[in-house]
């Protein structure tokens, strides 16, 4: 489905307007794109049978849409209803002099919208390709692609990236110039990073099959 490029500033709507901790908000779509590209797991929030359900799931994206997939039996992937998708990266603990001022350094994005079930076979395959390549670039053309039966068993949802918000916190605690500054308590940040490990072969793998370059080269690189 054709789409127009989205504006470089995120819209401020009744849903996306930051109310609390507004100084951490960013309206730059480039920040949204960077947060989405730095991860591949999101939390999909949806109301099922009148109750909220928040499901961790993988995602992919193109310029204007987020793609989510799963079993056709999944109740969280019904589509056609309002959803909220959150992507979070934790960059460290913010340890202040007072417990009240403790916090987290993070980058997070929330996307609001109504997810659409993708039914066109070509669009579905293209969306699943985006999803696969988002987590593991190079894998779509390496592993076997889904056949007709597997495609029929899979739901793909597309969610516009139009109505989204971003928050980012970075840096030192906030109480360095307050009454607690002279307390003698250590304050600062404890950074948190994730690193890809060395590929571990499936015990059932036939001898002599080595990990392809696009997987092997990620060992030791930073995620997020
Ligand atoms: C890892 C992590 C830990 C956090 N811990 C705490 C905590 O312990 N206590 C606390 O008060 N806050 C915490 N926050 C911040 C929290 O996510 C909210 O931003 C904050 O609590 C304000 O919530 P609210 O419902 O008042 O938001 P409002 O400002 O009322 O939300 C309005 C709109 O702003 C947008 N928005 C709000 N929060 C975010 C966000 N984080 N990312 C992107 N868009 C957002 C959404 O579109 C939302 O609909 C944490 C954030 C992260 C990522």
Task: Provide the sign of the torsion angle of the four alpha carbons 1, 77, 150, 205, taken in this order.
Answer: positive
Divide the 224 residues of the chain into consecutive groups of 10 and give the mean pLDDT of each group: 82 94 94 98 96 97 96 92 97 98 98 97 97 98 96 97 98 94 97 98 97 98 95
Supply the pLDDT for residue 72.
95
Model confidence over 139-166: pLDDT tens digits? 999 999 999 999 999 999 999 999 999 9
Q: What's domain 22-174's architecture?
A: Roll (2.30)
DSSP string of 147-184, one letter each residue = -HHHHHTEEEEEEESSSEEEEEE-SS-S-TTSGGGGS-
- The pLDDT of residue 54 is 97
User: Largest Cα–Cα distance of the chain, in whole Å?
Assistant: 67
* CA dihedral for 27, 29, 34, 39, sign (positive or negative): positive
Spacing, Cα 86 to ligand 1 middle (Å): 10
Burial classification of residue 120, based on how many CB atoms lie within 10 Å of its CB (0-12 exposed, 13-18 middle, 19 or more buried):
exposed
pLDDT at 1: 58
How much distance in Å is there from the Cα of 192 to the middle of ligand 1? 20
User: Taking Cα atoms as reference points, which of 124, 165, 178 lies closest to residue 146?
Assistant: 124
What are the residue boundaries of the structural domains of the chain, listed by start? 22-174, 193-224
d(CA 168, ligand 1 centre) in Å = 10
- Give the integer Cα–Cα distance in Å for 87 and 200: 27
Q: Which atom of ligand 1 is least distant from the CA of 107? A: 53
């Amino acid at each position: 489905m054709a789409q127009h490029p989205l504006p470089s500033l995120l819209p401020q709507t009744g849903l996306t307007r930051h109310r609390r901790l507004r100084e951490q908000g960013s309206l730059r779509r480039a920040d949204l794109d960077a947060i989405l590209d730095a991860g591949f797991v999101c939390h999909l929030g949806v109301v099922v049978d009148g109750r909220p359900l928040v499901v961790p799931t993988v995602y992919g994206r193109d310029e204007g849409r987020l793609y989510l997939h799963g079993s056709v039996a999944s109740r969280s992937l019904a589509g056609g209803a309002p959803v909220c998708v959150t992507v979070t990266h934790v960059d460290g603990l913010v340890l202040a002099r007072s417990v009240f001022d403790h916090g987290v350094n993070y980058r997070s994005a929330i996307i609001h919208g109504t997810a659409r079930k993708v039914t066109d076979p070509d669009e579905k395959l293209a969306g699943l390709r985006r999803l696969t390549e988002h987590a593991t670039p190079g894998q779509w053309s390496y592993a076997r692609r889904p056949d007709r039966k597997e495609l029929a068993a899979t739901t793909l949802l597309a969610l516009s990236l139009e109505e989204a918000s971003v928050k980012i916190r970075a840096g030192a605690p906030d109480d360095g110039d307050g009454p607690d500054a002279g307390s003698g308590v250590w304050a600062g940040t404890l950074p948190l990073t994730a690193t890809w490990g060395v590929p571990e072969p499936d015990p059932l793998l036939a001898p002599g099959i080595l990990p392809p370059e696009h997987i092997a080269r990620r060992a030791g690189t930073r995620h997020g």
